[in-house]
Amino acid sequence: MPMNDRPDSAPAAVADLPGAGGALAWAACGALLAAQGQGLAVKEAGGGRYLYANEVLLSWIGRPLAEVVGRTDADLFDAGTQAALRTADQAALAQEGVMAAEHRLSLGGRARELTLWRLAFAGEPAGCAGGSDGSRLLLGVWSDVAARKQQETQARAVLAQIEQLQTANDALQRELAGQSMRDPASGLYAKAHFEDQLRREVDLSSREHREFSIVLVEIDEAGTAGTGEAPDAAGRTAAQGQRAVQAALGRLLRSGTRAMDAACRLDERRFAVLLSGVGLATAHSRMEGLRRQCATEIVVHEGQELRFTVAMGVASFPHTAHSQPELLDACAAALLEAKRRGGNHVALAAIRFEPA
């Protein structure tokens, strides 16, 4: 109800209270609290009789003012509610200042979660229907916190959803970042990422005097030849078959390298592998095993069996080169030698011997 409607209704609510001026003061306080949805009650400290209740509290109790004033909690509520209120009242009377207490009460046939602020003070406020002996009074402000708790629960649920969405978004960002570094056809790293890895490996090996190897892998020209019809005989294109071979080679490279290694696709037919901390002889042995795997791999594409072979050139740092450009040149020369031998071959770069 709007606040400007309160003064007209408030005097009627306290019409039976003695002392018009004091009664109107309590009514005004009650109206201000009612505007915020809070109840107000004034009780005798000794007997516990209600001397005043505002309209919000009366609506919760479910009784008019005439049936509340002069009665106690025992007259108005069930035994459990009366006991809970009486215990909290006694605690407030035993201490100085305002005391707050949480209650879950059944009022007017409805369960309510309430916070009650209580303040005990001496004497009888002018105009309030107090005890005849001027005993202490107990002021109580009743606040229904169910709506607030519901809002807090909803807010926590919303925050949890936001956190879940943020977590999902972070995972998506990481996935997209990973996808941007990888070639979609082969699943291997993109060329730019490989070059960055190679620069770091050269720097690390130069500082720590450790060896590593790189391998250039090229699909031989005879790759994608089928065991039956040509890949594009029934409308399939050579490019589709080539992508299937690239995907198969990508799987073999991923399964044949470690987490600290890096394999990438350079172009349609050429791939590169960085073998961290691996010398020339070990690199040759591992790549020879990969070459044999490629030669026996069968790629099925749209019902067609495709086979492929690869040529490989292997170079190491610092035994075959002392800088990144020299290393790449030595590896490319080794690959050219493997192709000159007809492909399906692993060739090693020449080891440089420094003059004494």
| CA-wise closest residue to 186 among 138, 130, 141, 248 | 248
Residue given tokens 């409308």 in the structure block = 235
Say if CB 144 and CB 128 are below 8 A apart: no
Asked whether 338 and 275 are in contact (CB, 8 A), the reply is no
Q: Which residues pair with 218 in a beta bridge?
A: 270, 311
* Alpha carbons 216 and 315: distance in angstroms, whole number: 9
Q: State the residue for tokens 């004033």.
A: 69
Instruction: Specify the length of the chain in residues.
Output: 356
pLDDT tens track of the chain, all 356 residues?
333 333 333 333 333 443 334 567 778 888 888 888 899 999 998 889 999 999 999 999 899 999 999 999 999 988 888 888 998 999 888 888 888 888 888 887 788 888 888 988 775 444 444 444 456 888 999 888 877 777 778 888 888 887 887 777 767 666 655 555 677 767 788 888 888 889 999 999 988 888 999 999 999 986 544 444 444 444 445 777 788 888 899 999 988 888 889 899 888 789 999 999 999 999 999 999 999 999 999 888 777 888 999 999 999 998 888 899 999 999 999 999 999 999 999 999 988 765 54
What is the per-residue pLDDT for 295? 94
Burial (CB count <10 Å: 0-12, 13-18, 19+), residue 131: middle
Are 140 and 68 spatial neighbours (Cβ–Cβ below 8 Å)? Answer: no
Distance between CA atoms of residues 264 and 182, nearest Å: 8
Angle between the N-to-C axes of helices 20-35 and 6-13, in degrees from 0 to 180, rounded to the nearest 10: 130
